[in-house]
Amino acid sequence: MKIYNTLTRRKEEFRPIKEGEAGIYTCGPTVYNYAHIGNMRTFITEDLQVRALRFLGWKVRRVMNITDVGHLVSDADTGEDKMEQGARREGKSAWDIARFYTDAFFKDFKALNCADPDVVCKATDYIKEMIDLGLTLEKKGYTYVIPGDGVYFDTARFPDYGKLAGKRHIEGIQEGARIEANEGKRNPTDFAVWKFSAPGGKRQMEWDSPWGKGFPGWHMECSAMAMKHLGETIDMHWGGEDHVAIHHTNEIAQSEAATGKPFANYWLHARFLVTGDTGKMSKSSGEFLTTGLLIKKGYDPLAYRYYCLLTHYRKQLEFTWEGLDAAARGLERLREAARRLAAGEGDTMPEQGGIVRSRCRELCDRPHGVPSSPAAKYLADFKAALEDDLNIPQALACAWEAARNEALPAGERLAFLKEADKVLGLDLFAAPKAEADLEPELMALVEARAAARKAKDFKRSDELRAELAAKGVLVEDTSGGQKWKRKAG
Ligand code: AMP
Ligand code: ZN
């Protein structure tokens, strides 16, 4: 499999540490609020990578952390802990906030068909490992103490500090940081290994340490947990693009300073989901869209997964409601084709010896052996797409080709779609959405309109259509009868 490595800025053949195995660390959510659908784009991408590797025969171990302490409001290691901010906002304890939003996160994660990671680890369960890492760094002379503030990593002592983000980028941070720089820091890019609880003030989450009572710096958790579960050097490390300049750069510095070995061989980053109105979607900027909100509006959460599948993970994805509507329709059409094949209704044309060159074949730029049957050719093309830096849009095009190509025997198309869905995770063979998903009073109006139309009382049926529209439900008349859907936006 070829993957784009942010560290070398090029596509590289993935060479594992252990033959046939892939150890993957993916930075998890900060559980002080719901995850927004931007976060979920990154988690869906990581899920696709794990599924693709397994599909291609790799043994994968995926570790994901839950940030439930230490992620401060400001990247400069100042300001409130986001967990304590969440606790204050909702009048609950920081521990309750962490529990609540961790559960909420996994609900969304599952709704979007993301497979469970092999290991899920909470930062608050690894305080000892983080302190040990801090002690190693201290012993090697990488840290210094700012009295009343914390223990800091001296980035000037790590010569390759800018290697992930690029030196110019780091210089930019240094320039920008000067304005709000923490006075005691030796360099603007230095970051906290351990933060002290404010003198006299008790934090909800705090622990004893050799340096004093306090809590770990945010970046420490990922280094400590990744090394604990995957070893001192890991195969792949994933996150969203925002992590390149600070979080992952700091993870590299502290891990490599401590062990003297490369921390991760491949660094992978998903570009952001953005919205037209506000640009970047972020938890801290207040308004954001959640998976739960999409479900409340009547969308199948997998319509959002399908939406993500249409754009390569290294391209920015702009979210629009029209786009989501189109994705929902696309997914439904693909499922319809899959269902018809499963019901044995796919052979609408007589079998032919060969098939026309498929679009996905054209899209694939890699030669792949001579497949034994037309369906095997689809599978080869599908695999080639996955192997080409996780080209999911191309893999999806293969699924569409197979669904549409009536010149192929239905059994072969069906078998291929079942295989493809193991990676795409779209529940292609799911039953159509039950109408009972609408609230009973709205369902009664939908039924009344169908009855009025049947009785040719068009005045009444138009009135009911308008009433439903005002209540957020759109009805349309199709050859298969009346259909309803919730209004977007
Ligand atoms: P957080 O909960 O903020 O720690 O972020 C969880 C994951 O979502 C990280 O990998 C982030 O890099 C990623 N992320 C944050 N915002 C976005 C966005 N707008 N689009 C895609 N990924 C994002
Ligand atoms: Zn991380």
* pLDDT, tens digit (0-9, with 9 covering 90-100), for 184-213: 899 999 999 999 998 777 788 999 999 999
Q: Which atom of ligand 1 is nearest to the CA of 29?
A: 2
* Burial (CB count <10 Å: 0-12, 13-18, 19+), residue 481: exposed
Looking at the CA of 40, name the nearest ligand. Answer: 1
Substitution site in 62, 242, 288, 304 for ligand 1 pocket (most atoms within 8 Å of beta carbon): 242
pTM metric for this prediction: 0.85
Q: Which ligand is nearest to the CA of 317?
A: 1
Q: Is 237 in the pocket of ligand 1 (CB under 6 A)?
A: no
Q: How far apart are CA 199 and CA 167, in angstroms?
A: 37
370-414: per-residue pLDDT in tens?
455 777 889 999 999 999 999 999 999 999 999 999 888 999 999
Question: What is the identity of the amino acid at 433?
Answer: K
Which superfamily does 17-285 belong to?
HUPs (3.40.50.620)
Q: Where are the domains of the chain?
A: 17-285, 348-424, 440-486
Calpha distance 461→453 (Å, rounded): 6
Lowest mean pLDDT among 215-224, 231-240, 285-294, 302-311: 285-294
Ligand 1 in contact with 247 (CB < 6 A)? no
Task: Using a pLDDT cut of 70, give the percent of the chain over it.
Answer: 89
The ligand 1 atom nearest the CA atom of 35 = 2
Per-residue confidence (pLDDT) for residue 178, from 0 to 100:
53
Tokens read off for 310: 């249409």
C-alpha 360/C-alpha 363 separation (Å) is: 5
When pLDDT is averaged across residues 155-180 and rounded to a whole number, the result is 79
Which is it for strands 150-153 and 191-196: parallel, antiparallel or unpaired? antiparallel
Rounded Cα–Cα distance for residues 384 and 364 (Å): 7
Atom of ligand 1 nearest to the CA of 39: 8
Question: Which atom of ligand 1 is least distant from the CA of 28?
Answer: 6
pLDDT band for 118, please (50, 70, 90 cuts).
Answer: very high
Instruction: Please state the rounded mean pLDDT for residues 78-98.
Output: 88
**Segment 467-480, tens digit of pLDDT:** 999 888 889 887 77
Write down the pLDDT at residue 287.
57
Amino acid occupying residue 286 = G
Best residue among 26, 42, 72, 83 to mutate for probing ligand 1's pocket (most ligand atoms within 8 Å of CB) is 42
Q: Is pLDDT above 70 for 351?
A: no
CA–CA dist 420, 382 (Å, integer): 8
Task: Give me the DSSP letters along 363-417.
Answer: H--S-----SSHHHHHHHHHHHHHHBT--HHHHHHHHHHHHH-TTS-HHHHHHHH
Q: What would the pLDDT profile of 220-277 be if each residue is shown by its tens digit? A: 999 999 999 999 999 999 999 999 999 999 999 999 999 999 999 999 999 999 987 6
- Is the beta carbon of 243 within 6 A of some atom in ligand 1? yes
The percent of residues in the chain predicted with pLDDT above 90, rounded, is 70
Q: How many CB atoms lie within 10 A of CB 283?
A: 17
Comparing CA positions, the residue from 266, 242, 239, 254 lying closest to residue 7 is: 266
* Mean predicted lDDT score pLDDT of the chain: 89
pLDDT for 483 beyond 80: yes
Ligand nearest to the CA of 82: 1
Task: Answer yes or no: is the C-beta of 70 below 6 A from any ligand 1 atom.
Answer: no
**Ligand 1 touching residue 86 (CB < 6 A):** no
Residue 52 CB-density burial (10 A; 0-12 exposed, 13-18 middle, 19+ buried):
buried
Residues 108 and 129: their CA atoms lie apart, in Å, by 30
Nearest-CA residue for ligand 1 atom 11 is 240
Q: Which amino acid is at 229?
A: H
* Closest ligand to Cα 268: 1
Ligand 1 near 399 CB (within 6 A): no
Among all bound ligands, the one having the nearest atom to the CA of 220 is 2
Q: Could you tell me the two tokens for 286?
A: 């207040």
CA distance 288 to 103: 19
pLDDT recorded at residue 50: 98
Q: Token pair for residue 404?
A: 């549409």
Q: How far is the CA of 401 from the centre of ligand 1 (A)?
A: 33
Alpha helices (H) in 56-114, listed in sequence order = 82-90, 94-111
Amino acid at 29: P
Looking only at the bridges linking them, the beta strands covering 143-146 and 150-153 are: antiparallel
Residue 242 has what DSSP assignment? G
Q: Would you say 393 and 312 are in contact if contact means Cβ atoms under 8 Å apart?
A: yes
pLDDT for 83 equals: 86
pLDDT of residue 369: 45
Q: What is the DSSP letter of 103?
A: H
- Residue 141 corresponds to which tokens in the numbers above? 């002379």
| Residue-level pLDDT at 44 | 98
Report the half-sphere exposure of 485 (CA within 13 A, side-chain side): 15
Q: Regarding the domain delimited by 348-424, which CATH topology (the fold level of the hierarchy) does it fall under?
A: Four Helix Bundle (Hemerythrin (Met), subunit A) (1.20.120)
pLDDT at 346: 57
Is 190:152 a contact under the CB 8 Å cutoff?
yes
Average pLDDT over residues 57-77: 90
For residues 112 and 285, which has the higher predicted lDDT (pLDDT)?
Answer: 112
CA distance 39 to 31: 12
Q: Is 315 in the pocket of ligand 1 (CB under 6 A)?
A: no
Average pLDDT for residues 87-100, to the nearest whole number? 92
Do 189 and 155 meet the contact criterion of CB atoms below 8 Å apart?
A: yes
Predicted confidence (pLDDT) at residue 360 exceeds the cutoff of 60: no
Lowest mean pLDDT among 21-25, 93-97, 132-136, 352-356: 352-356
